Structure 1
Amino acid sequence: MGDDLISAPLPVEQMKARLDAVEGFIKELGLSRTQFDVFRLMKRVTDYFSARVFMVMNMPPVGSPTLAASSVITNWPAEMLSEYDSHNLLLSSPVFERLRSVSVPFAFDMMAVARERDAKTSEITKSLFSRFNMPRGGCFPVCDGAGNRGIVTWTGDMPAFSTPDMMALNYLSAHIFNRLAEIRDMDARVTETLTEREIECLNWTAAGKTSIEISEIMGLSEHTINHYLNRATKKLDTVNRTQAVAKALRLGLIK
């Protein structure tokens, strides 16, 4: 499961190209404002390193039966994740057992991991990860500024990650998990600062009402309604009402 699965080092030219790409990803990450922004970036990182899927998750509590409950963002196929959880594979996962006891990144091979399981879950694991073309990958333990532990993984049918790849992905993982925590904190502050009137206006906008219609419903002037909506748009760090409504829906501020 460990260092012996890492491939030979890259040539100097390829290593420099990797570092330049990582620098670009980090700059773009700093401009991300939503989880979806980070999701799109993660897809490009995944493609760049020839992997198939990624997952950013909080460290699952001991005894947690499902992986989905700890996932923050992922592009794992829904069917794959559902099957993984339906067989309770997290409870007996050698990968997560190791992740709870180490703070260093490591590569893994699912066939080797499966051999560490009991006979029943071993066969299920081999079949599942083979069917979805996810035979190997890398795990990167991370933590945010508040000390919350997490994990970033990349999995696929690519060749084993090189040492420079593991170093680059480890560096990226730390930045990704931290940025997601920052976005979560920003969202929490927005939730606290939006007023009841602003949320009500967003609710009616989401229902398809115009400013004039909302003014009639709420018994306020159209100018006042526009003022509430413009202020809500700025507080949500969005550029228009459509984006404001979409973000408010995502944050659970409106339904």
Structure 2
Amino acid sequence: MTDLFWSTWEIISLIEQAADQNAIQDCLINIAKIYGFASVFGGIVPPGDMRNSKTEIQARAVVQYFPKGWGARYVDQNYLPRDPILARLQKDRNAFSWSDGYRSCPDPDNVRIIGGEAADFGLVEGFVIPITTLDQRTAALSFGGARDDLSNRDRSALTFLAHFAIGHWLYLRRPNLTRSKPLSPREFDCLLWAAEGKTDWEISVILGISRSTVTKHIASAREKLDAVSKSHAIAIAMRLKILC
């Protein structure tokens, strides 16, 4: 096994042991530092027209870690509804870089002002990971720093860790925690192939079932494992030795 593999699972173990939001925040800050980032911010993505209320932001956030002064500046200047990254998150569920978010922004003034001021605080480039929850809300984590020179391998590992951290955070916020139910043979097969990196379509070909049936089985497995995403379900299943 590679050092990256073991480092990833050591971090997952720490996230899993986190008993509250503060502990999860500490894990995410540690992850940001490991991957060379100076900031990490994230939680439930607000609607694009949400007022920039500090209380509202805090209610949705799992982590707010910035260079000194940037968080207060962002709130004081009411940048949230104008943020190019938030605008991109309203329509894109794939991971993207800050520069991609800036390029897709229809208002160059927002890019110039917000991107320029962020750069003054050392936040020039970043990597954003959207996560769709079981109830179809969108969560996201945004890592920022002087540069983003992650390899594709690092991006994959960081994306996996982000899904697991957000999943555990949302799990802790649930009013009623239930015991995991056993997976059906078909749910197990679908999750096993998903853990191998296969898409729903590829799994449908392998198992000789429809793509929609694969999607249904994976969604059911997520619910039984109290997971909020496919990656979260895979991580839980591996921890419980359901997948080996």
Question: What is the DSSP-based 3-state SS (H/G/I as helix, E as strand, rest coil) of the residue aligned with 1:109?
Answer: helix
Which runs of 5 or more residues in structure 1 are unaligned?
1-12, 191-255
Whether 2:69 is the aligned partner of 1:79: answer: yes
2: distance between equivalents of 1:83 and 1:38? 25
Q: Residues 161-206 of structure 1: CA distance to partner in whole angstroms, max 9, x if unpaired?
A: 2211211111111111110011112xx459xxxxxxxxxxxxxxxx
Match status 1:22 vs 2:22 = no
Per-residue CA shift, 1:54-82, capped at 9, x if unaligned? 11221111201328513232112463122
* 8 A Cα contact 1:107 1:161, kept in partner: no
Pairing 1:152–2:141 present: yes
Equivalent pairs counted in the alignment come to 173
Where does residue 45 of structure 1 map in the other structure?
31
Q: TM-score, normalised by structure 1?
A: 0.60
Question: What is the percentage of aligned positions where both structures have the same residue?
Answer: 14
Counterpart CA distance in 1 for 2:81 and 2:144 is 20
- Structure 2, unmatched stretches of 5+, are 178-244
Q: Could you tell me which residue of structure 1 aligns to residue 21 of structure 2?
A: 35
Correspondent of 2:162 among 173, 184, 189: 173
Which residue matches 2:173?
184
Change (3 A) 1:107 1:101: same
Given that residues 115 and 122 in structure 1 are in contact (C-alpha distance below 8 angstroms), is that contact kept between their aligned partners in structure 2? no
Instruction: Return the letter of the residue paired with 1:32.
Output: A
Distance 2:53 2:142 in 1: 13
Pair 1:129-2:112 in alignment: no
TM-score (norm 2): 0.62
Instruction: Tell me the distance in 2 between the aligned counterparts of 1:29 and 1:126.
Output: 31
Q: CA–CA distance in 2 between the matches of 1:17 and 1:137?
A: 24
2:89 pairs with 1:99 = yes
Question: Distance between the aligned counterparts of 1:65 and 1:118, measured in 2?
Answer: 19
Distance 1:149 1:115 in 2: 19
Paired with 2:136 and 2:53, the residues of 1 have a C-alpha distance of 21
Cα distance change of structure 1 residues 124 and 117 upon mapping to structure 2, 3 Å threshold: farther
